[in-house]
Each structure stands twice: as structure tokens, then as C-alpha cells.
Amino acid sequence: MLVAEVLLQRTRRDKVQEVYREFVARFPTARALADASKDQVEEVIAPLGLKKRAIYLVQLARSILKKRDVVEAGRFEELSGIGPYTASAARIILGINTVLHPDSSIARVLSRYFGRPLDQHRPASTAWVAETLRKCAPVDSVEEMRSYFLALLDLAWEICKPRKPLCKRCPLAGSCSNTTN
């Protein structure tokens, strides 16, 4: 799960899907990844660009092996290279209750929907975005929160694209503030 989130950073998910299958086949366990060289990992993830992820992935695997208690407790941000968004996404996908953190895709959807501006350099860090994401999230169950979170990600990738959003196909078009509706 954490590997997938690291691979998805600033990368289209269709590209990651291709590489992820090979990655998991080549490094099926944290031990296999921790024992791999940076060059071996770079070879597998090369189609994604950003080769620097190779060393992060090896360090992450080593951190997982050293901090099993942290992993079991879902405290992923205590692992090497894992930030608030990645930790939150991993927990919610694994069915662990969490405080949701936005990524830039979710920030884009919320910005368009509510008609509010984003910090151009770090959209997901725009103060109102995290607050809005959390206020709109269902609180009755982790399952509902996961569905909400994944629906926002799907909406961002399939409809509310960075360039040329498909507003006419959007299920939120009737209430969205985006002017391209």
C-alpha cells in the first residue's frame, strides 16, 4: 500500500499500474525491497521518471522492517519518507480510522467545486482545503470515509482533470462553481 502511494506521487495512475505489477513481482516483500540496491529499484521504476524515488523506497522498506510496531499501529508517518497525505491515504484504504489529508488532485476538485483559490506552489497545503475535506467527510464509518476519499480521487482523475475537465460528465456539475460547466 505504501509503495503504491509513493509511486503515485506526481504520476498518472495508469502509468503506475504498469510499473506496480512488475515492482511487486520483483520485490514481493519489505525484506526483498530492503535488500535491493538503488539501481535495481531504479530499473523497475524508470518508466515513471523521478529516479530519486528508488532510494526512498529502499529506505522505506528498511524503516518498515525496523519499526514493525509503528506499521501495525498504522502510524505510517513515523516511517522514512512518509508524509501526512500518504499516511492518511494508506490508513483509510486499509480501513483504519484517520484524519484525512488532501493531495493536489483533491485540492483541485474542491477548489473548482467551491470556487476558491489554491496556493499555486502547494495546492494541497492551502489552509481551507484540508478543513473543507474533513468537514465534508462522512463520520459514521471508516467504510463511508474510504468511499468518499476514493470517490474524490476518481473524480479528480476521470472527470475533474488538471487540463480540460469533463464538466458535462461530472455528477456534481449542477452545484459546481467551476465556470466551464
Tens digits of residue pLDDT in 110-142: 999 999 999 989 999 999 999 999 999 998 899
- Residue 99 phi, psi dihedral angles, 5° rounding: -90, 125
pLDDT(164) > 60: yes
Look at residue 181 and tell me if it is in a domain: no
- Residue 171's domain spans which residues? 104-175
Q: Are residues 115 and 87 in the same domain?
A: no
Around 97, how many Cα atoms within 13 Å sit in the side-chain half-sphere? Answer: 4
Number of domains in the chain: 2
pLDDT(180) > 60: no
CA 13 and chain centroid, separation: 10
Question: Could you tell me the CATH number of the domain that includes residue 117?
Answer: 1.10.1670.10
* pTM of the entire predicted model: 0.85
Q: Are residues 76 and 24 in the same domain?
A: yes
pLDDT score at 15? 86
Tens digits of residue pLDDT in 8-23: 887 888 889 989 999 9
Q: Are residues 132 and 165 in the same domain?
A: yes
Q: Are residues 16 and 80 in the same domain?
A: yes
The CA-CA-CA angle for residues 169, 157, 89, to 5°, reads: 130
The rounded distance, in Å, linking the Cα atoms of 99 and 77 is 13
pLDDT(181) > 60: no
The rounded distance, in Å, linking the Cα atoms of 35 and 8 is 22
pLDDT score at 94? 92
The rounded distance, in Å, linking the Cα atoms of 133 and 114 is 11
Q: Please name the residues in contact with 33: beta carbons below 8 A apart, sequence gap of 6 or more.
A: 3, 27, 41, 57, 58, 60, 61
Task: Classify residue 78 by its DSSP letter.
Answer: G
Tens digits of residue pLDDT in 69-112: 999 999 999 998 899 999 999 999 999 999 999 999 999 999 99
pLDDT band at residue 179 under the 50/70/90 scheme = low
CB 114 within 8 A of CB 131: no
pLDDT score at 14? 82
